[in-house]
Amino acid sequence: MTKFETILDDFAFLDDWDDRYKYLIDLGRSLSPYPEERRDEAHKVKGCASQVWLANDRRMEDGDEHIDFYGDSDAHIVRGLVAVVLALYSGKTVTEIKNIDPDEALKPLDLSDHLTPQRSNGLASMIATIRKIEPS
């Protein structure tokens, strides 16, 4: 998975939004295959115009529970947005997840000015789904 800092750097390097959309699509293509058994209503993100699924696995590391997220979408650009969200949140503890200010973290990408309202709502729904997670 591409690191969030790398995505920020790559977006800063690409000054044309056509190139940024292509990059988002490439990020989506680089996602690990999403497990078919998790492509169900329980993992479907509500509030997205496209179909989006998010799942997680938990693991212990240095005495803390870390959460690894997986996701997919049936739309290319949205799948890229899934990749961005996963890069931001995956591998972190619940406390770290809750402490991330998504608006501030995503601000350098300038997505709000370049996404359709439906995609912006979907992005917000993905983030809200992840931020609802509680420790086990």
Contact 71, 61 (CB under 8 A): no
Distance of alpha carbon 69 from alpha carbon 123, whole angstroms: 15
- 24, 48, 82, 85: the catalytic one is 48
Q: Is residue 21 annotated as part of the catalytic site, yes or no?
A: no
Residues 6+ apart with CB under 8 A from 42: none
Which string of b and e fits 23-39 if b means at least 16 CB within 10 Å?
A: bbbebbeebeebeeebe
Active site residues: 48
